[in-house]
Structure 1
């Protein structure tokens, strides 16, 4: 099982890297800003919590209004029964300029990779607010939390594409309202399909074949680069028996209060067993210091992570095998025309005294229910060090 997760989470490495780089980019050509400048603290007790536990369809619709510095993306990945792997995201960003693009990665059963990033003009894209309906020319990401149509046009991706249906197996999830803010700055996340079944057809080198498998979809948006909110985070997704587990710990900047913000979701097909957010309901613990991966000036990171709820659910994760360890600036790539200024941008990042790293572990974990029953599972843990 670990081998399967290693191959799967290597496939979207390029996509994850390009996403992280775009978030780390500054909002203008001015000096990188990391100072305190009267930044407001996270107030964990008073985070948005008005929507209730039931996620509504409009929540997966467009949540940004294209104002400067906003970003938003709809992400999908699938592991197919023939051993092939698919990752795609539909992305809009409004930092240096308005940009709209789709990232697509296909890995064949033989391990051959295809990756492409396709940009679209503003008059070629549309986004609905009352539901998830994202269109970039003939490429579609549309659904209602229960079922999604995700389509990539082979004409846009060199004869690679797909027409897939994603059906959710568990309820959608967000921590409270899904929005974590510090004053007017915020980052938001909705796991619209934490675990689902995939069916449809895929086009590979112009050849169409029927496929089936499992998939995942989430939706993220915000209005400020993440390095202005967080110094690091830990994130995990896995499966143990019938249970889907998602957890995270967001580590706020000292200028934002220095809080560690834990999140935990546990569900099966019948119900959500755990939906908890914050230190009043969750306790986290870390051990096994990661050595020889980061410069000495980077803050300590750990490969084992545990989380316990106040009503005695627990998850214990062991990061067993490093999938990849990325120094973001070394892997950095920029879309045209910004690629012409890559040396200048690299220098600006280097002189900013930050050296972000992104590390992924193929992991095993133990889920303990509050009944005392335990389940062993596998998943992937990611650690993002933004500083």
Structure 2
């Protein structure tokens, strides 16, 4: 079944809507007429066959919405086109129901649209089981505390390389309010030195086994190596955090699937070239999701991470940050990791040790955009910041103001 790279595109104003329609290749006169219609929901589909584009255009117009297509669709000069569906949620729900009965193999498109619209609504509170340690999703932004047991991490390399220091830091993070501990034994900063799976596990083994007896929060293992993940899970770890989204080690998806544990799949790539920044990132993450699903994982067990600081320029990182809400279209929990990263340092011209305020700003933006987990070094400060943000944005808007 052909996929069209469906995703939600968030418009906050007419300028953003017009820019998006211009990129589709829509006629300039039509852009002026259609842009305001996209302030409800804008749903983008990629590489849609000509006959399907015609159907979508006609159906949306009949519902009072619209569909932006390439200007040459009307004269049948293109075989495929990107399509931007523009309408209210109600109009798009009607479209989904109508095309479920259409020919030309687009029934799946109607089903996917229905799922996407559902994913964009506020999620209900639910339990994510982590091998006996439960996480409550949907009530507040969860905090993943970072514990680097490496000599060369960009932020705190060497500080917790010693077992006693690592245990003390882990317990401090939990005391400050960490819901999850994320333990990394190989730096992934730019220019890092790779270590063997054997050395990585040699660093991890003592701290993992000790923490399983000393803390009551789930332990996440930050690794892209299947062999390391398998040993950590055999020892009792609860979550795998793969900075290559199951796509570097071909055995990683099988390992997490066999243990049935939640997995964080992060976007990553070599270089910073993109045909379409958000579209390419979401395509990568969909491939990671499909790998996880092929090995038995589903729903909340698959957590997506846009990969701030990995394979992206400063400008690209800032654009991803400004469009975090669009990652909800994948239908899975979202994790955001910005803590002390170079995006903050370059924007504010600050060294690593001075990036707390910048990190707090990104964490609050993440909470406002609906991310489920933030991954941070400074747990106490970030927990307070997102607790305040959650009080404002989660289930509060319009509830106490008549006429909201």
Alignment TM class, shorter chain as reference:
under 0.3
Over alpha carbons, which structure has the higher Rg? 2
How high is the TM-score relative to the length of structure 2?
A: 0.26
Richer in helix (by share): 2
How high is the TM-score relative to the length of structure 1?
A: 0.27
Richer in strand (by share): 1
Q: Which has the higher contact order (CA 8 A, sep 6+)?
A: 1
